[in-house]
Amino acid sequence: MKLCKIHILTFVAILLLIPVAHGWGVDGHLITCRIAQARLSKAAADAVSQLLPAYADNDLGSLCSWADRVKFRYHWSSALHYIDTPDNLCTYQYNRDCKDEDGILDRCVAGAINNYTNQLLTYGDDNSASQYNLTEALLFLSHYIGDIHQPLHVGFTSDRGGNTIDVHWYTRKAVLHHVWDDNIIETAEERFYDSNVDELINTLQKNITTVWANQAKAWEACSKTACPDVYASEGIKAACDWAYKGVGEGSVLEDDYFLSRYPVVNMRLAQGGVRLAATFNRIFG
Ligand code: ADE
Ligand code: ZN
Ligand code: ZN
């Protein structure tokens, strides 16, 4: 009986250790949040610092995957990580596509970005006790601006953003969606950065201020407080042009795919970080 109990505990422990990745994986979110936090205005940096829980030690990156961990506790939030668009159309329209599987409008990652942006705009309002939990709003917004930059988070409906497309990543079995959440980033870290994510972040930060300096200005541009529709339209286009292109059930993805798609992933991570910072800078003034 005792042995049996130990086996059950081992099984539960293993289950808890299996990573369930949704959105960029942990590193993708860490990268966008680190890039963003280094670009905040004084007012935005102060607000973020105030809203983060003390245990985060003022490191937004450490809680950038929090939204994935609470998906099961906050079941309503699981539809807010992505957008399903019509198969093979390669376009996105808010009114047509931003809904959940029950057809409820605004329940998609673009709607969530608008919602948490509006909540955070009440930061500093006089009538103190806000009706919102602004710490959660900060963590959701940080995560969802990352997710919307993962091309397959604005993917086709029938394959659930590549979640039902089985492929091989080099010699290992994988699903296409996970290749874009994790495998491309992970392989780049191993091959080019000695498995050190900080080195990858440094390289992206350097590129943002040099080779991408002009483009980065354009990435930040937004005539409202948040511009998720721009990011979603770019996302489905990148999904068609790069993620889905040349891939079918059972495809073997190796160097040809990795080396041509890795620059796209780099650019989307950089855009996500620059835009998250720009959004916070607009929100907190
Ligand atoms: N579930 C359904 N569509 C999805 C997508 N595009 N990304 C992640 N999860 C999904
Ligand atoms: Zn997510
Ligand atoms: Zn994902």
Strand, coil or helix: what is 29?
helix
Q: Rounded distance, CA 280 to CA 109, Å?
A: 17
Number of the ligand closest to the Cα of 68: 2
Domain 2-284 has CATH 1.10.575.10: yes
Expressed in angstroms and rounded, the spacing between residue 177 Cα and the centre of ligand 3 is 6
Expressed in angstroms and rounded, the spacing between residue 69 Cα and the centre of ligand 3 is 13
Q: What is the mean pLDDT of residues 118-124?
A: 97
Cβ–Cβ under 8 Å, residues 244 and 251: no
Three-state helix/strand/coil letters over 136-182: HHHHHHHHHHHHCCCHHHEEECCCCCCCCCEEEECCEEEEHHHHHHH
The mean pLDDT value of the chain amounts to 93
Residue 45 CA neighbour count, 13 Å, CB half:
9
Q: Residue 198: what residue type?
A: D
Expressed in angstroms and rounded, the spacing between residue 105 Cα and the centre of ligand 1 is 16
188-223 pLDDT, tens digit per residue, is: 999 999 999 999 999 999 999 999 999 999 999 999
pLDDT given at position 280: 99
In this prediction, residue 130 has a pLDDT band, given cuts at 50, 70 and 90, of confident
DSSP-derived secondary structure letter, 224: S
- As for ligand 1, residues whose beta carbon falls within 6 Å of it are 81-82, 84, 152-153, 155, 160-161, 163
Q: Rounded distance, CA 80 to CA 77, Å?
A: 5
